[in-house]
Structure formats: structure tokens, C-alpha cells
Structure 1
């Protein structure tokens, strides 16, 4: 959202398109989450009706309402988009060069099931008109002046109660909504609007006044009427109204479905609903007239919609507050930009922090047209910037200057406004941060390069992009990143994802003008394919956990076997034959026993006792006690054969190995010696660990860090950096029951590292591990942007 200026009122009116766009941003930001925000409250109300046994509503009626509410929840994303489009359409209609006449709007019939819904919307609009009449009267006068500056005829207030009711009704035009749910929907919509409309109207009045579209003084009622007549005359609006009969349940199908086309008839019934408190009948092209807000009846107007003259002083109301996070982000951005400007020898052509002397600021529509012109151009310059050969924001400005020159605008004579500078820099920093925080290949770089200008246009016209997690362009950004990050195209499924993401990015470039529907449509298409990818990632995680578990069990068995073997090799001295058998076949037999039977004491004791029996046989041989040795070996023969069989030897090979063992024990004076323990075998993950774990161990972990990491469960996310400084989001996918080590996987389910809690704590102490991770690629990239700007702001402060 654009932050309103605090420099006071403008003596010369600001570009009316920019003022109207700022008000549009205010409205969309305050109301963007509707209607889904009050679904939980409606659910609670329906549950209370069921629990209370309300005699007015049978269980069947409540069940139907609950079922319909469930359907609305499933369609929530589409409803939010349609609601936003309905509000935006009001602003688009307002700035038409000629107000739409009723004869230009095709008429149709409303489905009977929707009539009550439309009537409820009319009643809601009348109620809100009555409640906010003073603010609406003042805003109507100012919007008439703004319409004159646009060269348009006075039209319906784009943020008036009638327009807001229309947008709400149109949102649900395709839904079958029972009476109980309809009542609750309008009840909670009215509550939601009641909490924000007063402040919103004050903020819109303040924006109009600051832009130079305020009234010269606080007028009394006759003065207001005279001013309204003058505005109407200057705009070419008709004079006194003539009574026109209501048209019943007819509808204007182009955005006016189900609202009466009565053009200001006093006393019109619901079907011929006229705008109260100066609001026009929806779909009708009325005439300037008067109305009484207190009575809720009035004469429909085609423009200012003046009420009974009770207008307040101009410029009333507070500045529209912006989200604290966006305010802070913009402040840091300004500090960062100032720091970069201090380092530069001279300003770039076509750039400004707003209001460069001798240069004209580009209007928003001009800048959007320039971006649209360059949108279809090859994006090589952006790809090179993302590869690190320059700043992306600078490349964006260069391209916009090139486009300005093509349209006949001299880049030396124009500049960007402060708001436009913010949008350009934020998009540039966002894409730069994306490539620092994600594993993206060259193909992905070209794909994102194509998307730079479409996202610049979104940021210029709708800064909800940086505020709302459900913004369509933001969701598509996350979906594309999910599809391509770490995707090398090694499998047919991965190549299909890359191809689909590429085609979607090309479609956005080709089709995006200023309608966000293309982002919503593209996201739905890509997300359907990503659902399969997410299931494959889950399976990949499961396979990684099973493989790691198997490796851990094998390493554990080897360690246990080597410990037992080392004790037998260290004393007493052994003949080479016995030592070789113990280090080979018997050790393998121990490992297999541990793997098959775990800690089954009986099996393990039997396997270990075989080694002790062989050591005893070697002692008998050393002492020359041949008869006892023969009896001892005959008793051991079945167990030795079993041991050899576990190594995969067949009967013949086992007999041969047994013969060699006996041959080595025949001679009492065979030299005997002590043998070292078996050497440590190289682990499969040694290379992996050397990438992430510092062998020098210079950092020391705090006990609190160890305990914090130990408390994390499987499924927790971490942000880790390797020894080269490359960052990665990793999830704890599995905790070893043997070693208590943690298996970390990336967003594609591939193994990254297996480490103990203590090793992870050392990484945290070294600043290479943070608990938690932004859930989406957009939020993760924005977190990098905030950190970069925060550091810059801190250095400027110092």
C-alpha cells in the first residue's frame, strides 16, 4: 500500500489517477481478507443454534447451512479474488472517460433463488449509507472534483456502501446459499464493515484533501448544494432529475446483477432500490439531486450524490495507517537507498527519491504502460543481473528508461516517485534474495528473469504483494519456486515440473496486464501438479529415513562387533589361523547376529561364546593337548559351520575353511602374537559431514542451545549454512533411536546431513544454524531482504 504523504495539502492537485489508485489500495488492504474472515464466527453461531435447540431453525435447516458453509470454505480463494475484483471494478468504472449509461448495460433476469440475497444487499447498503452519511457527503463532493480532473462524468462512489454491497453480492452469485446462512453472512459482513468503514472513509477523505481535491472551506448546506451544482455543470452532468419508474427485478449483467435500475424515484420499493444518502441506484445513470440520509430515502444520482448538506471540514480524518511491518520495511529501504546514493558519483537518469527539481514524476499509468511495453522484450539483462553481474533494481530502471524513450519520454526529464522507487527496489531485492536463499539452476534464472517486469507491475499497483500471504502473485511465486528449487531435471517427473513452470511463466508474461486472475489461474494449474510432487517428496523422506536407519543399525552392529573382537585380539596371543578366522568370518557372524536379532541376549551370547571357544582351542593347541583339542573342535564343528554359512559359504566352501582352521592348530609351536583392533572403516557420510561440520570445532555450544535443539521434534525446520556459507532450509525428518542423531532433509526430501544434537548446537554457536524457517520461498526471500536492509540501516545510523 502506498504510504500517504505527511507534507500537507497540495496547492496544485496531484495526478488524479495516482490519488484514485492510492484510495483503491487503501480499500483493498482493509477489506482484502473478506469474506472468509468471518467464516469461523458463522460456524460458531451455527453450532450454538444446534446446541441451544432453537425452535425457529430445525436441525435440517442448520445442517443445510453448515453444508453450504463448507462449500464456501472450499471456494474461499476464488471468492476472495472475486470480491477484490468487484471492488477494483468500481474504481475502473469511476475513471472511465464517460460514465456508463443505463442503456449501455444489457439487462437480464435474476435467478429467483438470488432475489433475497440481492434485497439483503440493498438493505445493508441503505443502513451503512445512513450511518456514514457525513463522511460520504464530503467524499462525494471531492470525488466529483476528482472526476472532473480525470475528464470523466461524476459516477458512483467506488468505495460507497452500495458498491461494497454489490461486490459482496456478486461474490456469491454462483453459490446456492440457504436463508439461515444468508442472514448470518450479511450480519457478519455488516459487523466487519462497521469496524473499518469509518476509519477508511476518513482516510480516503484525507488522501483526497492532501491531493488537492478538498473543499476550500467548511461549507454550510446551501454552499454545498451550490458547489455540487457547479461541479455537475462543469462535468456536463444533467440537471434536475426526472422520475423514472423502477424496473423490478431486472438486472444489469455487466457488474450490476440483481440490483434495481430505479433512477432516483422517491419511495421506490426494494425492487427499485435507489441510493440512500446520495448513493446512486446500482446500474442506473441518474441525475444530480438531493437526499435525506436520516430517512434512508433519496434521489438516485449519477455523480456526486449530495446529501442534506451536513458536510464536515475538508481534510478531516486521520491518515490511513499502514501495516507496521511495511512501514518499517520502507523506512529501512529509504535508509539503504540513501547509503547507496552517497556511494554513487552521480544520480542515474530517470531515477528519483520523489520530486527531483526540473523533472516531472511519471504518473502511475504511464509507468505501468512503459513496463507493459518492455514486458515482452527478451529478459537477458535481468538474467545477467541475477547471475551477479549487476544489481537487478538498476537493470529494471534501465529497462524502464529504455521503454520511456520509446514512448517519446526523455529519461533526463522524468523521474520515478518515491513509491515507485520503493516498488522497484523491493522487487529487485526480492529476486536477488531468492537466488541467495534457494538452490536454483540456470534454467530457473532465465525463468525468473522473464517474471521480473510482471512483478514490478504488480508491486506498482498493489503493494498487498508484500503484505498478504494469500496474494495470487505471491502464491504463484511460491509455487514456481517449489517446482524449480533444487530441481536438476534428473527424472521425468522433475522435467515435467520444469516444463510446466516454464510454460506458466511464459503465459504470465504474455497475458498479464493488470488483472491478477492470470496469477490465480496459473497457480491452480501448477499446484495441481505440485500435489503429486509433494507426495513424492514425502516418499523420498521416508526412503531417506529408512536408508539412514539401516545404515545406523549396520554401523552400530559393526561397532559392537569390533569392540568384542578387540578384546579377543588383545590377549592372549593367538595363532595366525585363529586371529584370521576371528577377524573375518566370526566378526561377520557377529554383525549379522546383531542385525538379525538386535539385542536378543541368547543369540548374541551364543555368537560371542563361539569366539571364546576358538580362543580356548588355540590355547589347547599351544599347550600340545591334541586329544582335548580334537574333542573340542568336534564339539564346535556345527557352530563353526553355522558361522561360515552366515558369510555366504556353501557346504563345500565351509568344509574347506574349517580344514584350514584345523590345519593352523595342528602345530603347537606355531608363532603366536597379539593383534591390533580392526581399523575404523570409513563412514558413508564422511564427505557429507565434512561439508557441514567444522573439524576444528572452534565454536563452543551452550547447554541451553543443546537442550533447545534436543527438544525439537521430527518435522521441525532449521536454516543451516555449510562451511562455504551457502544457506539451506532443512527439516528434521527422523531421530535415530540408536544414536539420537537427527536426519536433515531439504525441501525436496533429499538427505542433507545426519548429526548429533551437540554437533548441531556447535553449528548454532558458530552462527550457521537457526531454529525455524520461513514457510514459503517468498517469505524466506523477504526475510533476507529485511536482514540486508536492517544491516544497511544500522550502518547508516552509525
Structure 2
């Protein structure tokens, strides 16, 4: 270590070089440790029937380039320190910002997720290190730069290292997962050593860092990591007894509903015939046969009457069983299999009834029907566990598709990605739920970007709505003042001036400066002064005083006219007309009529039943329901029937601090409705609004399913 200076600190350049040396030494071998865990995961998938020849071939090529990749990665780590010194990067977001090709977008999104994971996992150590590096930069007489071994920088190093590698989309999440695990193994020791080095060099107080992990057998450690990605999904999940009881109740209600169906007696008579029940593996084989076939029958059923999807599934399975040699005259489905089929059919129908899924989404969902039948036949947890991988994927797909008319490139990308994922599920799902987990992770990365756009859209909608409310309030206040001024007769030009440019100027002053401000008081004083000048002109006896009054008002009148968009020449012409009118004491004077209120055209185009000209006091509503509406909070989800009768999921995005009205937006962040608590109560009483909707689409669809069964059983 360099000698301490007078300040008690070591030479900052030498300290930075030592940090760089330690970092390159500990991080340099990370890329070479990625291939074995990923290869194990791919082979494990192959042994379970999920062949991955393309990914294995790509991994082999990457392994052959291992030396070059390690060197490139070490250069990226070292480059971080060079950038820190030369200040080429000035922000804490260390991921490189540039336009990327479409096929690289998922790669960069995965890198951002990786950075977030590292940042969360090592937050205390990184916070301490960032503060100490800032002090080091200060000692170097530089402004603070990005942490050269921070979370974003390490994610960026991985992206730059593998930027030109031929890596299939399915291989990317496995590589990122392995990289995250390798970093987790190294970073605890690295961050502790760097923090201790900076503290001992005088750039921060020493802290007790986390203890390094005890030495472990490297192969065993990596073998554990190799299982993480798949085993987390495959691990048996304990079902809460209460949830199991609810599922049993669901099946009871399903049986009661089935008894109400036409032809139920005939079906019971058929089941009473001596026919063998299909074994689980037999029906699974039938589903496997049908899974890759055209989904047209389900696409049509999704647009039909309730019960059509389950009917189509059952008919399709009977036909498939016949093709595999199972004569339907001698075989039948078991009660559990019938329940699974009905529940899947009702689940998909509920999704289309509960969410604004457009016609172009039907084929996508129709393609998923058979894979979800296979899931339900083997795993009842689909209907009771919110974290079930297949259920989470269906949530993500519905979030991406609801109300998505593919009107923008981003929306089209979501639809195309969902379509590709549905095709992959059909091709790859063979009773291994890891397929759903990987597909969900891929779509979730894209949805995160979509959600950030939605948040911006919501903020814009809230800002626009608040602006409209402030404008309406300012116009109301201006009209009240104008009504007071128009209580006495005045010349026509004075009345026109007050009703047009002065009224507009008063509204702008209220918006920009607020009531009670200096400019607001000056604007009100201008209106009173004009009336006083008109009174003087009416007498005709105080011409000198009138002239002085008009001269004193010239600047204020000019400024008032300018706020209406008039240039100097037009403003002077309008001012001259006003002066000429006041110079004539015998000019006719009348009490002017109040100008018509300005109509908010945007509000007028919305559903007329939601907007009441007489205010909300006349709305017929239940006070208790209105009180419940007033307790709504931003972020709560509701179900709304739009004027066309289409069910839409809406969220409370914002509550006006001025009027207390609620801004409701859809999943794309677009405004659906702005209404008061009493208007929402009236909608709820009319059956057009449901409070307390579930955020996850499958949760809401299953609740809708249960309501349907309960009503039928009752």
C-alpha cells in the first residue's frame, strides 16, 4: 500500500489500481464457469424428453471460444475502471444505452433484470462502496462516476462479452441465470475486500462486511446451481388444506352445475353402461396426439355460447381416443377427467368474458387449450395455486393481449411474442412445467418494459385530467367575477373586452399564478378600472380624468390583449376601438348578457350517462355504496362494463385532489373513465361496475367461474 499522505489517505490512483487488480483477478474466471451448469440443465431437459439440439450446439461453439470470451470479459471489467477515471460514463445506470436490434432487445432486458437482482442482493455493500468511490473520485479531483464493479456495469460487461455470440433465444435465460449464480458466488468476497481496502486507505470508515462463504467442493456447488432453474419449478408445492377444501367445494359446485345441463340424464345413463375408464396415461397420450393439431375447433368455440369450449374439448378427445384404438363404446372418461375438462373450458371462457380480448387473440388462446387440458389432467394445483407456472404464464399472456389492438409497434411485438410462446408451448410441453416457467420469464421481461410505458401513460392521463379540472375551475371562477361585473349597464366595446380578452386573461392568471396572487389581483383591478372608466365616460364632464385613467391602464390593457395571442398591431387596434367608445358619453349602454360557458368537448364525447350537467347531487345512489367508493385507493382494480357492454379491467390510477374524482385506466394506461364517487356508486348499482376485482387475470377468471357455478347451483 502506498504511503499515507498528510490527510491520512493513500495515493488515490494507486488505491484505484489495486481495486482494479483485485476485481479483474476475482471476476476474470466467471465466464469459464458458465458452460457446465447450462450444459447440465440442457442434458437434464433432454433426458425428460425436451430435446435441445440447437441450444447444445450453440453452447458447444461458445465453449470452444471460451478463452476469447474470458479475455473479452476481463477487458470489459478493466474498462470499467478506465471509464471511472476518464469520466466517459457519468451516471449510475451502467448498462450501455444505444439502439439495439429487435433480436437483441430481450438480451438487454434480461441484462437489466440481472442488474436489478444484483443491486437488491448486495444493496448494503454497494451503497457503502458507492459512497467510498465518490470520496476517491473527489480525491482525484473528478466528479463521481459509475461504480466500475456495480450491478449495472457487471450486467453490461456480460452483454458486451456475448454481444456477437450466436446464442438462441432459449439459451439466453440459462446463460444469464448461470452468470448470476457465478457472480453471487464471487461478489460477496469481492465487495468485502474492496470496501475494506477503501476504508483502510482513508476513503471511509471500516465496516464489518459479510463473511466469505466457507470453501465448498466446486463441482457440488455448481451442480446445485445447475438444478436451480428447473428444480424451482419442478419442486412439489404443498397445498394449503384450506385451499384444497375450496377446490373440493368448487368440484361440488361443478357437479351441481352439470346436473342442470340439458341432456344430463342421458349422459348419466351412458356412464352407467359397463365401460372402462381411460387411465391417466392413456388420456395423456391422446392429448399429446392432439396437441400439435389445428386449434380451429377451439377458436370457434371461444366465440360461441357458454359451455362450447368444454364440449369441443370432450369431442376432440373422444375422436383422438378412437384414432388411438380406444373404442368410445367401450371406454369413457373418469369423473376427475371430466372435471378437469369442464374447468379448463370454463376457465378459458371466463377469460374471454372477463377481459377485453379481441378477436385476433382467439387463435392464440385456442392453441393453448390442449396444453392446459394436459396440465389440468395431471395437476389440480392449476386451479388453486396462484404461483403455478402455467397460471402465471396465462396471466402474462392475458395482460399482454387485453385491449391490445396491435396499433403500435410495441403492442404488435407483445402480440407476436405471445403467439410465438403459445406455439412453443404446443411444441415443447410434455408434462414438464419448466416450459411454462421459462416462457413466463421471457414474456415477463418484455412486459416489464411495457409496464414502464403504461406508468408514463397513466401519469400523462392524470396530468391531462388534472389540467382539465383546473381549467374548468378557473373558467367557473372567471364567470362568477364576470357575472358580478355585468350587473350594471356599459358600452358594447367594454362589455366585449371584458367577456373575451379580459375573461381569457383572468383564466390564464388563475391557472399560472393562482387565486390571491399579485397578477390575479392586478387582473381583477383592471376589470374594476374599466368599469370605473365607463362610468366617467357616461357623465361626459371629467374628460381629463378619463384620459388620465386610460393612459394609466394602457400597459395593463396591452398585456391583457397579448395573452389572447394578439400581436402588437392588433392589440393597438383593439385598444383604439375601446378608447373611441369611451370618448362618446352618449353611446348606448346596456346590461350585457353573461357569455355562454365554454364546453369541454373532450368530456362531452364520453359516455353521456356518466356525466351530469346538474352535478352529482341528483344522482340516484346508495350512500353506503358511495362511501365504499370514496375509500378506493390508487392501484385498486375494478371491472367495468363499457357502453358497448364489454367487460374491461380498470385500475384507479389517480384521485383528484381538487374534486375527489377517480381516474380509471385500462391495462394499457389509457383513460377509460373519470367519475365521482356517487357516479361510481350509480354504476355499481346498475350492475356496470364491480369493486374488488383481482389483479391477476386467472384469479378473476376463476372467481367469475365460481360465481357462475354458484348461481347455477342455487
Q: Same fold (TM over 0.5)?
A: yes
| CA distance in structure 1 between the aligned counterparts of 2:378 and 2:351, rounded to whole angstroms | 22
TM-aligned CA deviation for residue 693 of structure 1: 5.7
| CA distance in structure 1 between the aligned counterparts of 2:270 and 2:255, rounded to whole angstroms | 12
| CA distance in structure 1 between the aligned counterparts of 2:557 and 2:223, rounded to whole angstroms | 91
Instruction: Provide closer, same or farther for how the CA distance between residues 766 and 397 of structure 1 changes in structure 2, counting only shifts above 3 A.
Output: same
Answer yes or no: is 1:383 the counterpart of 2:299: yes
Q: How does 1:127-206 map to 2 (within 5 A)?
A: none
Where does residue 454 of structure 1 map in the other structure?
Answer: 371
Where does residue 476 of structure 1 map in the other structure?
Answer: 393
Answer yes or no: is 1:741 the counterpart of 2:661: yes
Deviations 1:438-497 (A, max 9, x none): 111122111000000110110011111011111110111011111111111122111111
Answer yes or no: is 1:714 the counterpart of 2:615: no
- Worse-matched range after superposition: 414-423 or 629-638: 629-638
| CA distance in structure 1 between the aligned counterparts of 2:549 and 2:223, rounded to whole angstroms | 102
Where does residue 754 of structure 1 map in the other structure?
Answer: 674
Where does residue 492 of structure 2 map in the other structure?
Answer: 576
TM-aligned CA deviation for residue 686 of structure 1: 2.6
| CA distance in structure 1 between the aligned counterparts of 2:545 and 2:612, rounded to whole angstroms | 57
Aligned residue among 459, 464, 480 for 2:381: 464
| CA distance in structure 2 between the aligned counterparts of 1:720 and 1:753, rounded to whole angstroms | 10
TM-aligned CA deviation for residue 410 of structure 1: 2.9
Where does residue 482 of structure 2 map in the other structure?
Answer: 565
Contact 1:541 1:750 in 2 (8 A): yes
Contact 1:354 1:361 in 2 (8 A): no
Deviations 1:721-759 (A, max 9, x none): 335543322222112222222211122211111112222
Contact 2:641 2:689 in 1 (8 A): yes
| CA distance in structure 2 between the aligned counterparts of 1:708 and 1:567, rounded to whole angstroms | 40
Answer yes or no: is 1:609 the counterpart of 2:525: yes
Q: Which has the larger radius of gyration?
A: 1
Contact 1:373 1:403 in 2 (8 A): yes
Where does residue 418 of structure 1 map in the other structure?
Answer: 335
TM-aligned CA deviation for residue 610 of structure 1: 1.0
Structure 1, unaligned runs of 5 or more:
1-77, 93-173, 179-249, 259-319
TM-aligned CA deviation for residue 594 of structure 1: 0.6
TM-aligned CA deviation for residue 399 of structure 1: 1.1
Deviations 1:29-86 (A, max 9, x none): xxxxxxxxxxxxxxxxxxxxxxxxxxxxxxxxxxxxxxxxxxxxxxxxx9xxx9xx99
Answer yes or no: is 1:785 the counterpart of 2:705: yes
The structure carrying a bigger helix percent of its residues is: 2
Where does residue 323 of structure 1 map in the other structure?
Answer: 244
Where does residue 685 of structure 1 map in the other structure?
Answer: 603
Deviations 1:671-703 (A, max 9, x none): 322233222322222332426568999973333
| CA distance in structure 1 between the aligned counterparts of 2:184 and 2:591, rounded to whole angstroms | 88
- Worse-matched range after superposition: 654-663 or 353-362: 353-362
| CA distance in structure 1 between the aligned counterparts of 2:509 and 2:501, rounded to whole angstroms | 12
Q: How does 1:202-221 map to 2 (within 5 A)?
A: none
Contact 2:258 2:264 in 1 (8 A): no
Answer yes or no: is 1:365 the counterpart of 2:285: no
Contact 1:731 1:746 in 2 (8 A): yes
Contact 1:729 1:747 in 2 (8 A): yes
Contact 1:693 1:763 in 2 (8 A): no
Question: Relative contact order (C-alpha < 8 Å, sep 6+): which is higher?
Answer: 2
| CA distance in structure 2 between the aligned counterparts of 1:355 and 1:175, rounded to whole angstroms | 57
Answer yes or no: is 1:522 the counterpart of 2:442: no
Task: Give the root-mean-square deviation of aligned CA atoms.
Answer: 3.3
TM-aligned CA deviation for residue 663 of structure 1: 2.2
Contact 2:619 2:679 in 1 (8 A): no
Aligned residue among 244, 253, 262 for 1:332: 253
Contact 1:721 1:727 in 2 (8 A): yes
Deviations 1:7-38 (A, max 9, x none): xxxxxxxxxxxxxxxxxxxxxxxxxxxxxxxx
| CA distance in structure 1 between the aligned counterparts of 2:374 and 2:295, rounded to whole angstroms | 15
Deviations 1:287-312 (A, max 9, x none): xxxxxxxxxxxxxxxxxxxxxxxxxx
Contact 2:356 2:646 in 1 (8 A): no
Contact 1:716 1:731 in 2 (8 A): yes
Query: TM-score by structure 1 length?
Result: 0.57
Contact 2:491 2:589 in 1 (8 A): yes
Where does residue 103 of structure 2 map in the other structure?
Answer: none
Where does residue 344 of structure 1 map in the other structure?
Answer: 263
Contact 1:354 1:415 in 2 (8 A): no
SS of the residue 2:304 aligns to: helix
SS of the residue 1:323 aligns to: helix
Instruction: Provide closer, same or farther for how the CA distance between residues 759 and 377 of structure 1 changes in structure 2, counting only shifts above 3 A.
Output: same
| CA distance in structure 2 between the aligned counterparts of 1:399 and 1:591, rounded to whole angstroms | 67
TM-aligned CA deviation for residue 345 of structure 1: 8.2
| CA distance in structure 2 between the aligned counterparts of 1:786 and 1:385, rounded to whole angstroms | 20
Contact 2:457 2:669 in 1 (8 A): yes
Deviations 1:195-217 (A, max 9, x none): xxxxxxxxxxxxxxxxxxxxxxx
Structure 2, unaligned runs of 5 or more:
1-36, 50-180, 186-218, 228-240
TM-aligned CA deviation for residue 403 of structure 1: 1.1
Q: How does 1:52-63 map to 2 (within 5 A)?
A: none
| CA distance in structure 1 between the aligned counterparts of 2:605 and 2:546, rounded to whole angstroms | 48
Contact 1:489 1:495 in 2 (8 A): yes
Contact 2:482 2:499 in 1 (8 A): yes
| CA distance in structure 1 between the aligned counterparts of 2:335 and 2:251, rounded to whole angstroms | 10
SS of the residue 2:635 aligns to: coil
TM-aligned CA deviation for residue 406 of structure 1: 1.6
